[in-house]
Structure 1
Amino acid sequence: MLEPFASARLRYRPLGPPDVAGLFALDSDPRVLRYLGTPPLTSIAQAHAALARTADAYRAGAPARWAVELRATGEFLGWAGLKLNPGPVNGRADFIDLGYRLLAPHWGQGYGTEAGRAWLAQGFGPLKLPLVTGYAEAAHGASRRILEKVGLEFINLFDAANGTPHAWYEARNPALAQ
């Protein structure tokens, strides 16, 4: 497993019990969930359950999301990271997905791009992953721009299980290129 690490303005560490209030704030905000197709959390117990699922992934040694906090203050901004997605999504299964979710007051400050770049570097460096993918609702321009800025290449549009158009992105590890 990776050790906690940092980028210019952010620190990344495994999510834990102290993050439950931040996770609830994040996933109970309809603005944050607008393009995700999931209903907002309505109880702190749901945030505890989400945290327990992440802890299970950590114990299994699977890639999972980590907390993102400001280096200067330790303030919880949300989460980012790589995650093993069993799929199927866009005809694929068992792929590594780059994701990020930040509290609305922290949008538009480049934190998503910084976190995405940091996690792509972890995926291609210490984790030696051959391929990292990402996807976003086609109408979610901000998230798509982040995927492109961090180095993922647009591959295709596809309809998600709910029929909503999504954009699929991929990046291959340059150190493993033949």
Structure 2
Amino acid sequence: MKIFAETERLILREILPTDIDGMFELHSDIEVHRFLGNQTITNKEQAKELIKFVRQQYTDFGIGRWAIIDKKNNNFIGWTGLEFVTEQINNHKNFYDLGYRLIKKYWGQGFATETAFVSLEYAFNKLNTDEVFARADSRNIGSNKILDKVGLKFIETFDFEGIEHNWYRVERTEFENKKSNR
């Protein structure tokens, strides 16, 4: 098992086949998917396929979403991190996308912000990229606040699968400035 990063409260590690119950709980919840097109999964075989997809990204790109694990009790909280996007989204292709998704009972505890910041540190310090992008449904106030809080800048709105989304970017120098002002 590869651990990518740690915080005081959390371990950020590769998503494992044994995370199937947590992935099912996360991706079968309609509230979690409220701003994600409400396309929940309905069985553990679908959770297994999601895990397989992420694990293939580790092989193909050396990066993929990470499991968020609570250090206190080893619970699966959700996932966070970077995905290398190869399909075109908002006229961009082959870019690092920051994302996070938490099981509902863990909302409002600062986990998404904490892990998003660590993910950006990883992007700039380990992957040596110059920029990271993110997108959020324009109605998802919580996610939009998190992206702003960790230093991503709103660029524009765009249509993503029939829904208005906000498009964000942060460059290495902007992130370093934000980090030094924390």
Q: Compute the TM-score of the two structures, normalised by the length of structure 1.
A: 0.93
Q: Which residue is 2:137 aligned to?
A: 137
Deviations 1:12-68 (A, max 9, x none): 000001101100000000000010115111110000111111111112234210100
Contact 1:87 1:95 in 2 (8 A): no
Deviations 1:105-155 (A, max 9, x none): 000111100010010011111111111011100000100001011110111
Contact 1:14 1:67 in 2 (8 A): yes
Q: Work out the CA distance in 1 between the residues paired with 2:86 and 2:37.
A: 18
Q: Could you list the runs of 5+ residues in structure 2 that have no partner in the other structure? A: 177-182
Contact 1:62 1:83 in 2 (8 A): no
Identical positions, percent: 34
Residues 24-173 of structure 1 aligned to structure 2 (within 5 Å): 24-160=24-160, 162-173=161-172
Q: Mean Cα displacement is larger for which, 38-47 or 168-177?
A: 168-177
Q: Work out the CA distance in 1 between the residues paired with 2:141 and 2:94.
A: 26
Q: Which residue is 1:15 aligned to?
A: 15
Q: Could you list the runs of 5+ residues in structure 1 that have no partner in the other structure? A: none
Q: In structure 2, do the counterparts of structure 1 residues 176 and 135 end up closer, same or farther at CA, with 3 Å as the change threshold?
A: closer
Contact 2:5 2:118 in 1 (8 A): no
Q: Work out the CA distance in 2 between the residues paired with 1:118 and 1:105.
A: 22
Q: Note the aligned Cα RMSD (angstroms).
A: 1.7
Q: Which amino acid aligns with 1:164?
A: I
Q: Which residue is 1:174 aligned to?
A: 173
| Displacement after TM superposition at 1:176 (Å) | 11
Q: Work out the CA distance in 2 between the residues paired with 1:85 and 1:11.
A: 24
